[in-house]
Amino acid sequence: MQHPFVRNVWLGIGVTLLGVSWAWADAAAGMQAFKNKDYATAFREWKAAAEAGQAEAEFDLGVLYAQGKGVPRDLTTAEGWYRKAAEQGNAEAEFALGQMYSRGWGVPRDEADALRWFQMANAPDSDGPSTDWSLIDGYGVQQDQKQAAYWYELAAQKGHAEAQFNLGRLYAEGKGGIPHDEEQATRWVRAAASQGYPLAQARLGVRYANGLGIQQDTRRAYFWLTLAYLHGDKSVEKLRAAQAAKLTPADVSTTDQAAQNWKPRVAAVAAKK
């Protein structure tokens, strides 16, 4: 779990800064106790902060109930605390709710609600880190690559760029019962790259450079690596330079210009059957 405690919170007129600091102190103390496996203390600290409306503590309290640490395991109560945090935009709680609805843990199984919470968790304006649905653990749900692929595909077909990229990654790895399929991997990575997702642009460049699931093409490799670089992925710089060295100066210049002028587009595609 990632727990960013430094957030800007305005609790309205009448709440003093001292009160706000106290709530954050409870949340931080709870995390320290959790790391020390002192779950009873973690529960006390997080409950105080959660009842003060602190979203991260609400999520953390839900985790304790989901895992049965410091309190009896109660998925219905966990869902209630996750929801309070999710309604404040907490991405981890949104993701946890998606998992609960996807499996029917503490709530009736509902695919539409599960997908809605997953998409909210991965929205650019969500209050928290993006999530990796293939690493399901800690919310009352065990890791399940097949289930992750199922949810990735639902979202990918609706044009969710991060889901498209991660579905492509699962096909490329061929793990957890997911068939290894480089062609499928390229299809989904291309869809995400076409929407301007930098990690996918970098991966598509690598695929063109190495001929993975697609015909090797140095110029296209350089194009996609350049796009990734322009979108902030500096890790591609060495491979991008290597591809440029294989092209003529005129080709490099033309491709650079094409990358500068490139615009993203929505790319929802159906999986190959």
Domains and CATH numbers, the chain: 17-121 (1.25.40.10), 161-261 (1.25.40.10)
The tens-digit pLDDT sequence of the chain (273 residues) is: 333 322 222 122 122 223 334 444 567 788 888 888 899 999 999 998 899 998 888 989 998 998 888 999 998 999 999 999 988 888 778 878 887 887 788 888 877 777 777 777 766 555 444 555 554 444 444 456 676 677 677 777 777 787 788 889 889 988 756 789 999 999 999 999 999 989 999 999 999 999 999 999 999 999 999 999 998 889 999 999 999 999 999 999 999 999 999 998 764 455 454
Backbone CA torsion sign across 218, 224, 229, 230? positive
Could you list the beta-strand ranges (E) of the chain: none
What does the angle CA 110 – CA 83 – CA 27 come to, to the nearest 5 degrees? 145
- If DSSP codes are grouped into helix, strand and coil, which group holds residue 73? coil
Q: Which of 214, 215, 209, 222 is nearest to 248 (CA)?
A: 222
Q: Cβ distance 90 to 125 under 8 Å?
A: no
| CA–CA gap between residue 65 and residue 47 (Å, rounded) | 11
Residue 164 tokens read as: 């498209």
List, for residues 45-76, the tens digit of each pLDDT value: 999 889 999 888 898 999 899 888 899 999 89
Number of CB atoms found within 10 A of residue 119's CB? 19
Backbone CA torsion sign across 48, 51, 57, 63? positive
Q: Could you tell me where the DSSP H helices lie in 68-181?
A: 75-86, 91-103, 111-121, 145-157, 161-173
List, for residues 124-133, the tens digit of each pLDDT value: 555 444 555 5
pTM: 0.57
